[in-house]
């Protein structure tokens, strides 16, 4: 098994032990980000996107379940005119980011970016090492893809536009 495969397997084991998918099932949790598509680097976090409409009950549930974990913090903000609810904490060597929005997970940008990136990696396997190299230099995932693919403008939006143009999303 490759190092990426071991990290991926360990991540799923840690998520399972923590019980997030079961305990927060009402919010349709989906593991997103770099680890599921094996482009993670040292320190990559586990992003779990969820569909959240009632922030108070979500915040209380998350604090009850994970508030005792190392570096727990809660944040609320707006991104693209939508409320965003985030909890971050550390567990068994992984940084977790629980990310809730009042939008189905399959319509959230974190999920859509992952789907587009996974398909681009499938279509061009040589891209993986190049993305990882840029990420190792401190460049975020979407800007790394945009740079390597020559995408102009906001890398987050450009990646979604490319996904639509290629009929990935």
- Give the tens place of pLDDT for each residue, 119-160: 999 999 999 999 999 999 999 999 999 999 999 999 999 999
Q: Are residues 10 and 48 in the same domain?
A: yes
Q: Are residues 23 and 61 in the same domain?
A: yes
- Structural domain for 31, as ranges: 3-105
Q: Are residues 145 and 101 in the same domain?
A: no
- As a whole number, mean pLDDT of residues 27-47 equals 94
Residue where a domain terminates, one of 75, 90, 105: 105
The mean-pLDDT minimum among 9-18, 54-63, 156-165 falls in 9-18
> For 100-103, which contacts have Cβ atoms below 8 Å and span 24 or more sequence positions?
100/27, 100/49, 100/50, 100/51, 100/52, 100/55, 100/58, 101/49, 101/50, 101/51, 101/52, 102/51, 102/52, 102/53, 103/51
Q: Are residues 85 and 145 in the same domain?
A: no
Mean per-residue pLDDT over the chain, rounded? 95
Q: Are residues 80 and 37 in the same domain?
A: yes
Residue where a domain terminates, one of 105, 129, 157: 105
Q: Are residues 99 and 16 in the same domain?
A: yes
Q: Are residues 89 and 117 in the same domain?
A: no
Q: Are residues 90 and 45 in the same domain?
A: yes
Q: Are residues 63 and 19 in the same domain?
A: yes
Q: Are residues 32 and 85 in the same domain?
A: yes
Give the CATH number of the domain where residue 56 resides: 3.30.460
> How many distinct structural domains can be found in the chain?
2
Q: Are residues 47 and 79 in the same domain?
A: yes
Rounded Cα gap, residues 6 and 44, in angstroms: 14
Q: Are residues 7 and 55 in the same domain?
A: yes
Full-model pTM: 0.92
């Amino acid at each position: 098994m490759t190092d990426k495969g071991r990290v991926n397997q360990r991540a799923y084991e840690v998520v399972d032990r923590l019980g997030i998918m079961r305990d927060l099932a009402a919010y349709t949790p989906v593991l997103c980000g770099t680890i599921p598509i094996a482009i993670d680097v040292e320190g990559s976090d586990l992003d779990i996107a969820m569909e959240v409409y009632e922030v108070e009950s979500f915040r209380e549930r998350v604090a009850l379940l994970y508030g005792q974990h190392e570096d727990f913090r809660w944040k609320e903000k707006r991104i693209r005119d939508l409320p965003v609810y985030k909890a971050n904490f550390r567990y068994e060597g992984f940084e977790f980011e629980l990310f809730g929005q009042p939008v189905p997970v399959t319509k959230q940008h974190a999920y859509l970016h992952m789907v587009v990136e996974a398909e681009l990696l499938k279509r061009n396997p040589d891209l993986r090492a190049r993305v990882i190299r840029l990420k190792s230099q401190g460049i975020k995932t979407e800007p790394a893809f945009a740079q390597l693919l020559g995408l102009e403008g906001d890398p987050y939006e450009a990646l979604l536009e490319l996904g639509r143009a290629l009929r990935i999303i």
